[in-house]
Amino acid sequence: MMTPTIRTIAEKKLIGKSMVMSLAANRTGELWRSFMQQRKEIRNVIGEDLYSLQVYDPSYFADFEPGAEFIKWAAMAVSDAEEVPAGMAVFILPGGMYAVFTYRGPASGGAQVFQYIYGTWLPSSGYTLDNRPHFEILGEKYKNDSPDSEEEIWIPITRKTEQ
């Protein structure tokens, strides 16, 4: 189905907004509407990419259930986080190894993609999930629910032998 590229990145500084939510009580739309109204206030932005980032508890995937809460961020990368707009915060994305999948299609098809990544690709990959944030980069080809939309899905991984 989808074959990722394995990439290692350095730490990144992000500025954005966050909300606690679950898949059962998904507030992604609310978070992004609020962020997009203020995004032009962010200074020292690197590029135009938007980061949709999830911070999960280490046990989130072990005992997966739709009501489990996580922190979701809507953010942009910055070169300097000295000035933070009101209502926003700085998030330091740790560097490390990621499996990067390119997803083409509407946002509504995301559930099947994540099911494939966690249920099919990961168990047979030689990698295991690392306890770092998961994120999607919504670049210039991202068009929300359009079938032509494209985004990158970044899954934090380590080699199974490193544990």
pLDDT at 87: 96
User: Which parts of the chain have pLDDT scores under 50?
Assistant: 163
pLDDT of residue 149: 80
Residue 144: CB atoms within 10 Å: 12
Identify the DSSP state of 4.
P
CA distance 4 to 111: 17
Q: What is the pLDDT of residue 113?
A: 86
* Full residue range of the structural domain in which residue 46 is found: 5-162
Token pair of 68, please? 């489990």
C-alpha span between 38 and 87 (Å, rounded) = 9
pLDDT at 110: 74
**C-alpha 57, offset from chain centre:** 15
What pLDDT is attached to residue 162? Answer: 52
Instruction: State residue 62 phi and psi, 5-degree precision.
Output: -65, -45
Residue 104's pLDDT is what? 84
User: Position of tokens 């990698």?
Assistant: 127
Residue 31, domain CATH: 3.20.80.10
Q: Which pLDDT value is given to residue 17?
A: 98
pLDDT of residue 9: 96
Domain tally, the chain: 1
